[in-house]
Structure 1
């Protein structure tokens, strides 16, 4: 059963990916020891990071097709061809965590 914090973080992450303004940049990173994917939304004043776990096949696909530090969204525009696949993966992701870093 999904807990409410993880559900709320999933909704925030989907909002970040679907409704971005021209001052938003989203990059992707992989955490090899924890098998997590980390998405970082960067704006002028703060960075918001989301980490989540995927199943083994989706995680391996993303590691093969997306390089470390690639932009998914650059200046509000979708620039990576794996964007749609990433959205589908997030819908079934588990243990979504969020934290903020002030610049």
Structure 2
């Protein structure tokens, strides 16, 4: 069940993805890679857009930032999670979250 009380619940899908990733590339020599990716944006209405450091640009810029988790062994990477990072300018502004329909939790 992916929808619980009208809210998308990705945990069953993520659990299965983790199990399959572990089966494919897990083991003692596997590593978990945590990385961020900045996507430059114009405007301020896209969820999470704020002036943030964008490593790909080498400077602070208006962008969205994604945080990914990848399980890797050798040269085989399998992405297991991806989340949109919400800066304090978003998390500290309840009316902005509500206007963009971002769940408070």
> Which of the pair is proportionally richer in strand?
2
* TM above 0.5: no
Higher RCO (C-alpha 8 Å, min separation 6): 1
TM score, norm. by length of structure 1: 0.36
**Greater C-alpha radius of gyration:** 2
